[in-house]
Amino acid sequence: MFVPLHFLRMIVIAIAVMAAMVVYEHTVLGLSYIPEIEPKLAVYDIMRSLVALLLSVALIHALWEDGRKFSAPAAPRLTLNEILPSLGVTVFAVWCAWLFARNPQLFDALSLEDGPFEWLSAFFLFVASAFFAMVAIGQLVGARAGGGRQAWLAFLAGVFFAFIFFVIGMEEISWMQRVFHVATPEAFVELNDQKEFNFHNMSTGVSELVYYCGAFALLVLIPFAGLFIRKRLGNGPMAAFMPSLFVLAASAPMAAFNCGRWGVLPIQMSMMMTVIILLVLANGALRNGLWQEFLLFAGVAISIVAIQELFLVESARLVRLWDPTEYKELFIGAGLALYGGQVWWRLRVARPAAVAVHA
């Protein structure tokens, strides 16, 4: 069993450091946590970013050391059919950044409530939910036919993901409030930051932090850990839920779209850890002579750094300080849809005892 003890210890240390910084910022600097403010380059802000970088390096190093003790890392190999879509997502991310640089008003307009990107984000989440609903149905049939414990676990996992992604998708469009012209209840008006019929805007900062960090863990961190544990997962249905490096590469650009909450340490760390992971993968690809993979991972890492720098340096030009996060949610939704499709594809043929899983 893979138990990343060094990584878990580093998480405890990172949480302690973050808690200490939150207390200091609140008591000494008078700052509230998870603020939506324009990024600054004061001495303390630079120091905070340095702490985030050191913690990010330490966490990835700890995970790598744990993984090496468990198993030799697999070569970060991708097929051409995986490289090209991943490259396409990165090109689209660069285009989004270019659009902001050229036309901040259009960049803002595309991400407004009921705008094309909000609906596209919700659509991707519904696609992810539908894929996992099909997974749940298929695994229920297999479990009832004698598929065993793993089939039942896969059924429950499918139900869980289908429900979670459906709820997040409905929250994204405020449960179709504006489609059906439903007035916001008074209880929501008083509690909701945007006076909408949804729950996540009752505490926008916390809900965004949980969603973004959860997406980072599922779409980037876990696929990276899969380098060490994928070979030992076996061929049971639950092995299909391990996201691949394709999911990682295609989802990674989401890490670049931050601005207003850049001062929140976990937001910085998720971006930095994504870049570090991509550089580690690029190094692994180079060592194995995988030039296409090397160029992809290195190119995505460079693009993320460049896009993030653009939003930080040019934040004053944003029409709304949180516009980049609307794009971030689009990339997260697309990554989750890809993940759901991959799990469904692996389990599309129900088998009573085992399912062949393509890593």
Tell me the average pLDDT across 69-83. 93
List the single range of 12-21, 80-89, 194-203, 270-279 with lowest mean pLDDT.
Answer: 194-203
What's the CA gap between 6 and 11, in Å, rounded?
9
**Closest to 158 measured CA to CA, from 130, 123, 116:** 130
Tokens encoding 181: 């012209």
CA distance 218 to 212: 10
Quickly count: other Cβ atoms within 10 Å of residue 37's Cβ. 14
Has residue 157 got a pLDDT over 80?
yes
In this predicted structure, the answer to whether residue 120 has a pLDDT above a threshold of 70 is yes
Residue 138 has pLDDT above 60, yes or no: yes
Helix (H) or strand (E) holding 240: none
pLDDT at 181: 57
Say how far apart CA 295 and CA 80 lie, in whole Å. Answer: 13
Say yes or no to pLDDT of 199 above 60.
no
Which tokens sit at 52?
A: 């985030």
Q: Which residues of 238-263 are buried (b: 16+ CB within 10 A; e: fewer)?
A: bbbbbbbbbbbbbbbbbbbbbbbbbb
* pLDDT for the residue 357: 41
pLDDT tens by residue, 205-244? 788 899 999 999 999 999 999 999 887 787 889 999 999 9
Residue 55 lies in a domain: no
- CA–CA gap between residue 200 and residue 258 (Å, rounded): 18
Q: Is the pTM of this model over 0.85?
A: yes
d(CA 33, CA 264): 7
**Could you give the CA distance from residue 332 to residue 270 in angstroms, rounded to a whole number?**
13
Q: What is the pLDDT of residue 195?
A: 54
- pLDDT at site 146: 84
Asked if pLDDT for residue 184 goes beyond 80, the answer is: no
More confident residue, 180 or 35: 35
DSSP 244: -
Tally the C-alpha atoms within 13 A of residue 131's C-alpha that lie toward its C-beta: 24
Predicted pLDDT at 40 = 85
Average pLDDT on 163-182 reads 78
Count the domains in the chain: 1
Tell me, yes or no, whether 256 lies in a domain.
yes
- pLDDT tens digits, residue range 23-42? 988 888 877 766 778 898 88
Determine the average pLDDT of the residues in 291-308: 98
Residue tagged 């307009």 (tokens): 109
Among the listed residues 220, 222, 219, 225, the one whose alpha carbon sits nearest the alpha carbon of residue 67: 225
Is residue 56, in this structure, part of any structural domain at all?
no
Amino acid 227: pLDDT: 94
Residue 93 lies in a domain: yes
What lies within 8 Å, CB to CB, of 194 at 6+ separation is: 113, 201, 204
Crossing angle (nearest 10°) for helices 291-313 and 265-287 = 160
Confidence (pLDDT) at 173: 81
Residue 186: the pLDDT is 65
Q: Of 167-171, 274-278, 283-287, 294-298, which gets the smallest average pLDDT? A: 167-171
Average pLDDT over residues 64-81: 93
Between these two residues, 111 and 354, which has the higher pLDDT value? Answer: 111
What is the distance in angstroms between the CA of the first residue and the CA of the last residue of the chain? 19
pLDDT of residue 174: 72
* Distance of alpha carbon 159 from alpha carbon 129, whole angstroms: 9
Spatial separation of the C-alpha atoms in residues 4 and 122, rounded to whole Å: 34
pLDDT of 182 > 60? The answer is no
Binned at pLDDT 50, 70 and 90, residue 356 comes out as very low
Range of the domain at 328: 76-346
Residue 118 scores a pLDDT above 70: yes
* Residue with more model confidence, 290 or 178: 290
Q: Predicted confidence band at 82 (pLDDT cuts at 50, 70, 90)?
A: very high
Within a domain: 63: no
Question: If you average pLDDT over residues 48-67, what whole number do you get?
Answer: 96
